[in-house]
Amino acid sequence: MNRPLRAILAPMLWLLSACAPHGAAEAQTAPALSPSDAAMQSALLAAEQGRLSPDQARALANHPLHAWLDVARIRQSLSTASASDVAAALQRDDGQPAGIALADMWRAELARRQDWNTLSALDADGSDSQANRCLDLLADAKLGRFDDEWTQDARKVWRSGRPWASACREPMALLEQRGGVDDALRWNRFDAALEQRLPAVMRDAGRSLSPDQAKLAGEYADFLGAPRDSAMAWPKTTRSRAVIAAGLEQEAKNNASAVEVALPKWSSAFALDDAQRGRVLAAIARASAIDRDPRTPQRFAAVPASAFDDALHEMRARDALSRGDWPTTLAAIRAMPDALRNTSRWTYFLGRALEQGGQREQARAAYAAAARSSEFHGFLAADRLHQPYRLCPLPTPQTPLQSPGFQRALALHRIGRNDWAVREWSAAAQSAAPAQRLAAVRDALAQQWFDRAAFGLDRTQPQEMRLLDMRFPLHYDADIERAASTNRLDPAWVAAEVRAESLFDPRARSNADARGLMQLIPETGQRIARRNGIGYVDGNSLYDPGSNIAIGSAYLRDLLDRAGGALPVVIAGYNAGPNAAARWKSERPTLEADAWIEAIPYKETREYVPRVLGFSVMYDWRMHGKMLRLGDRIGGRLDGERIAPSCDAVN
């Protein structure tokens, strides 16, 4: 749908118990809560409503989630909570995510009460936030404890180039009043803010300088928003050079041509070094590529090799692809660092460029290397070689889950406390052994907490990427097959959209109010439902899995008809909006599908389209045991060759 991708678009996983593809999985309902889970769920609700009985609390004293019951109980009456009660809870729960959450709440409450003695004596671990550090500084200051350690800790906060938390204003003012801030420290903060391109912080850092220096700091900050010739009068210092370079980089985003003309003047006047000039030239080339300026190739050629990062290397290759310039594409890929060039994406396009240049044997070698990857570009490469897709699934690990942190996370998810569950999961994952992490992912997926797989698998570990049933769960398959048949769609594509949009969470809801499995906005859902005679009451109807899949599939059929069957355009439109996708297609009507996808200007959509197409192949395997070739799928040839995967090395 037309909205930003959410974090739920991250990779996700489920179960595998054999190397062969499983049959279609039946939709599952979450199991009923155990008596222990139900008791904690009830107690938490009672605590938040101020009606938790002592007997109820005592009965759960040994429950794994007792620390979160402390949080709920104390938060409900935080303004009147007794210090001894909170201290006892913090002692019990110290170091646990619940204890950290409670310590954060209690610090803020003690500051509100101005109970500086208790706050200063608080030794429970809270989160390592700037606000907490400043509250501790404030408590010590109020008690007159201005020792060297206080001064050094306060100076560390001062140096931050980010905006201060509101709790920091008073201790920073006290530091300044006590002479703990000199001009060197003010410029330290200014320079840190300049590095992060934060002119408001730059101005704030310079306000207490001497009048002439404060004026210069303000001019420096203004230059980042609008370079002006009056800056030629600035002192020719290292800091002035840094501001000039940063300001030109910023301005290139708005007017690359003007900066290109002006760069020699500024470079000569301030003696910009090679790195600074290189960053400005890179910014000019980047803006030019975004604007599709015909001078882009020359501007990329002007950027020194040292100024290229991975993103700029990729942008140069995509610019050449978008113009159908295969020789420049080849040169851009060959200039990439090995780690970038050897990804399946750029190894595949290396093969394409070599093939276009008549170097067929070299192209075949590149395709063979790319085809070892079990994802979109690997599948495209295998199609070029007319070889099977390489899938080497591993069975689901069966190690029992023993990590208390992961167990608490799963218990919290079962009772609907997802925010707390994520805290517990994140804390446990920091120190868990890989086997326990995988066991937690397995058990999370078994209880339909699907998005944990996005955070549980390590994508840098090839073995974990072979847990294919874990990565590609299959629920609501009967609804998917039915809706796909009704709308003459490939069911594997529908399943792929569900995975990409919601990770099979029927209650998913985005900031743009897209809802349910296929992330439909209520207005769109209502329009499509009425047009197709699908039952629809209100926006909450989209949380029903069957209704959402039926409406979403009808919408895909509508988009497919409007796009003349161009599947990549439809998928791009589902993510960025059909009008944007149609515009991109009209701008590059002759590009082949693979190059057109890579040339999509929105990064989010450029990653989304191959993700969904790759997922379609995997769900074809999950649902049917064989896969339609990706080239046929993209071309709308649903009756094309269906192939079985192979774990053999691609030749």
Helices (H), 14-65: 35-48, 54-59
pLDDT tens profile 235-294 = 999 999 999 999 999 999 999 999 999 999 999 999 999 999 999 999 999 999 999 999
> What is this structure's pTM?
0.89
Instruction: Give domain limits for the chain.
Output: 35-177, 226-306, 473-643
Residue 464 CA, distance from chain mean position: 20
Identify whether the C-beta of residue 520 lies closer than 8 Å to the C-beta of residue 551: yes
Residue 347 CA, distance from chain mean position: 25
Would you state the pLDDT for residue 7? 34
pLDDT tens profile 294-324 = 999 999 999 999 999 999 999 999 999 999 9
CA-based Rg of the chain, rounded to a whole angstrom? 29
Question: For the domain 35-177, what is the CATH code?
Answer: 1.25.20.10
Give residue 515's region: left, alpha or beta (phi > 0; psi -120 to 50).
beta
For 643, phi then psi, to 5°, come to: -120, 150
pLDDT tens profile 609-619 = 999 999 999 99
CA 638 → CA 342, 383, 536, distances in Å? 32, 15, 31
* H or E stretch at 642: strand 642-643
Identify whether the C-beta of residue 553 lies closer than 8 Å to the C-beta of residue 486: yes
- Does residue 457 have a pLDDT over 80? yes
Which residue in 214, 117, 114 sits closest to 170, CA to CA? 114
SS3 13: coil
Q: How many other C-beta atoms can be found within 10 angstroms of the C-beta atom of residue 67? A: 23
Given pLDDT bands bounded at 50, 70 and 90, which one contains residue 1? Answer: low
Helices (H), 114-147: 116-121, 130-142
- Does residue 124 have a pLDDT over 80? no
pLDDT tens profile 597-648 = 999 999 999 999 999 999 999 999 999 999 999 999 999 999 998 999 999 8
**Distance separating alpha carbons of residues 440 and 419, to the nearest angstrom:** 17
Q: How many other C-beta atoms can be found within 10 angstroms of the C-beta atom of residue 66? A: 17
- Does residue 14 have a pLDDT over 60? no
Please tell me the total number of residues recorded for the chain in this structure: 651
Would you state the pLDDT for residue 15? 28
Share of the chain above pLDDT 70, in %: 95
Furthest-apart CA atoms within the chain: distance in Å: 81
509, β-bridge pairs? 515
Given pLDDT bands bounded at 50, 70 and 90, which one contains residue 650? Answer: low
Which residue in 215, 269, 212, 213 sits closest to 244, CA to CA? 269
Would you state the pLDDT for residue 8? 32
- Does residue 649 have a pLDDT over 70? no
pLDDT tens profile 17-39 = 333 333 333 445 566 899 999 99
Written as one letter, the residue type at 410 is L
**Distance separating alpha carbons of residues 612 and 559, to the nearest angstrom:** 15
**Distance separating alpha carbons of residues 130 and 166, to the nearest angstrom:** 10
**Distance separating alpha carbons of residues 190 and 221, to the nearest angstrom:** 9
Q: Say which CATH topology domain 473-643 has.
A: Lysozyme (1.10.530)
* H or E stretch at 443: helix 434-446
Would you state the pLDDT for residue 128? 87
**Distance separating alpha carbons of residues 550 and 555, to the nearest angstrom:** 9
The tokens for 599 are 């040339």
pLDDT tens profile 523-575 = 999 999 999 999 999 999 999 999 999 999 999 999 999 999 999 999 999 99
Mean pLDDT of 353-381: 97
Kindly report the average pLDDT of the chain as a whole number: 93
- Does residue 454 have a pLDDT over 90? no
Q: ∠ CA 303-306-308 to the nearest 5 degrees?
A: 60
Mean pLDDT of 416-443: 95
Mean pLDDT of 146-165: 96
**Distance separating alpha carbons of residues 37 and 69, to the nearest angstrom:** 12
The tokens for 93 are 């729960």
CA 454 → CA 1, 24, 438, 500, 532, distances in Å? 21, 22, 12, 11, 34
pLDDT tens profile 165-188 = 999 999 999 999 999 999 999 999
